[in-house]
Amino acid sequence: MRRLERGFTLVELMIIVAIIGILAAVALPAFQDYTIRAKVSELVLAVSSLKTTITDKAASDGTLASSGIGLTVSTGGKIAGGSVTNGGTITVSGNSASIGTAVSIILTPSLAGGGRIAWMCNTAGITDQWKYVPAECRH
């Protein structure tokens, strides 16, 4: 006797749907973290003009003592607030409504050898934010 081909059985289709569901359950949180991380990276880019100004002032004076005087972080978009100290330390806070979570990043300049300015990025020790910030800010 010859048996006809019938296609997939109901059990096989249910197994495929279950596998797709498991993959989606793993992929969606990872994708959400990735999109938040991309938006937080935009915070660092938004204050890059301040970093350039501080670097230029420190290079011309040879010191960081007054490199941040008169500089302000403009709010709007993804930036909820921020400040610049007289020594050039930049603090920027992300808007949780547009980013997806509240994030604060602190960029601290230091004089390196040869008159270069090295920037250190951190989250003020808040380890809950580490999965959202760029890799250089995770300390």
Can you give the CATH number for the domain in which 15 is found? 3.30.700.10
Ramachandran sector of residue 122 (left: φ over 0; alpha: ψ -120 to 50; beta: rest): beta
pLDDT in the model for residue 1: 59
Q: Is residue 60 part of a domain?
A: yes
Range of the domain at 79: 10-137
Q: Is residue 5 part of a domain?
A: no
Q: Is residue 4 part of a domain?
A: no
The residues of the chain scoring below 70 in pLDDT are 1-4, 139
pLDDT in the model for residue 113: 77
Q: Is residue 3 part of a domain?
A: no
pLDDT in the model for residue 17: 96
DSSP 8-class letter at 64: S
Residue 102 — φ and ψ, nearest 5°?
Answer: -85, 125
Q: Is residue 1 part of a domain?
A: no
DSSP 8-class letter at 8: -
Domain count for the chain, please give it: 1
- Cite the beta strand spans of the chain per DSSP E: 79-84, 90-94, 104-111, 117-122
What are the CB-based long-range contacts (under 8 Å, 24+) for 76-84? 77/46, 78/39, 78/42, 78/43, 78/46, 79/43, 79/46, 82/47, 84/50, 84/54
pLDDT in the model for residue 13: 93
